[in-house]
Amino acid sequence: MKNFKKIAAILLVVLMTVALVACGGKTEKTEDATDAPAADGQKYVIASDNAFAPFEYLDTETNEYVGIDMDILAAIAEDQKFEYEIQNVGFDAALNQVQSSQADAVIAGMTITEERKLTFDFSDGYFDAGQILVVPADSEIQSLEDLRGTTVAAKISTQGAEYAQSVAEEYGFEVTTYEDSPTMYQAVIQGTNAACFEDDPVARYSIQSQGLELKVVGDVINAKPYGFAVKLGENAELIEMFNTGLANIKANGVYDEILAKYGY
């Protein structure tokens, strides 16, 4: 009987220790998960595109993401003294991460639209851009009218895709969506698609800097400002800091220096 009590007591201690360790582990995990988001005011997680030059793209020499968005964000964070971690996950993934609260904000050459305002809060605009039709360098396509009977490429979740879909029926073409801009360009270069819609500055920059056998045709469509965005109703202080920081870097010349670095 005595032994039984002793064993029971030991078992109880062991069980309590296991429970404590498990609890401890759990607490730590919860802290980790909320570590990055704004809640404890430490480090914001900011999602971005991964191949959208000159706004964000991998510098293969340094293996770091560079570009106008990356530089503007860094300058604003320095000005407003907030810490962040950038995750270059791709455009569609970046939007999803913010909506599912895995990221606090997105900066990805993201056009401010009325439709997106239903699910995102935007900063002030920091760059104006619209979309443009991109075709193979030797293509005879000059306008939407020439797209009849073809299949046109667009990048998923973008304004380019939205525009393509909105006029597809009228101009008699089909739309294929791709995950990222480089894959979309290749589809046009290789002839899988007759054309694609891309943001005008990105198309021009990519064609020039990578020597892509593509050209832009026609006029810029739906020129609108790009904005930094958070999930609707969340991280309001981040939007405020972005706006104040943006005004400051515009006033002190840093904004102009950044644009000049990328040819603007």
List of residues contacting ligand GLN (CB under 6 A): 49, 52, 91, 108-111, 155, 158-159, 199
Q: Which is nearer to ligand GLN, 80 or 158 (CB)?
A: 158
Q: Which is nearer to ligand GLN, 108 or 230 (CB)?
A: 108
Beta carbon of residue 70, minimum distance to ligand GLN (angstroms, whole number): 13
Q: What angle do CA 226, 210, 262 make, to 5 degrees?
A: 45
Q: Which is nearer to ligand GLN, 80 or 175 (CB)?
A: 175
Rounded to the nearest 5 percent, the helix, strand and coil shares of the chain are 45, 25, 30
Beta carbon of residue 89, minimum distance to ligand GLN (angstroms, whole number): 11
| Residue 39 DSSP symbol | G
Beta carbon of residue 199, minimum distance to ligand GLN (angstroms, whole number): 5
Q: Which is nearer to ligand GLN, 52 or 228 (CB)?
A: 52
| Residue 111 DSSP symbol | B
Beta carbon of residue 109, minimum distance to ligand GLN (angstroms, whole number): 4
Whether 170 and 104 have beta carbons less than 8 Å apart is answered as no
Rounded Cα distance between 39 and 239, Å, is 15
Read out DSSP for 157-182?
Answer: TSHHHHHHHHHHHHHT-EEEEESSHH
Q: Which is nearer to ligand GLN, 123 or 159 (CB)?
A: 159
Q: Which is nearer to ligand GLN, 80 or 91 (CB)?
A: 91
Per-residue tokens: 153: 């490429």
Length of the chain: 264
Per-residue tokens: 263: 């040819």
Instruction: Report the Cα 167 to chain-centroid distance in Å.
Output: 25
Phi, psi of 38 (to 5 degrees): -65, -25
Instruction: Report the Cα 2 to chain-centroid distance in Å.
Output: 67
Beta carbon of residue 46, minimum distance to ligand GLN (angstroms, whole number): 14
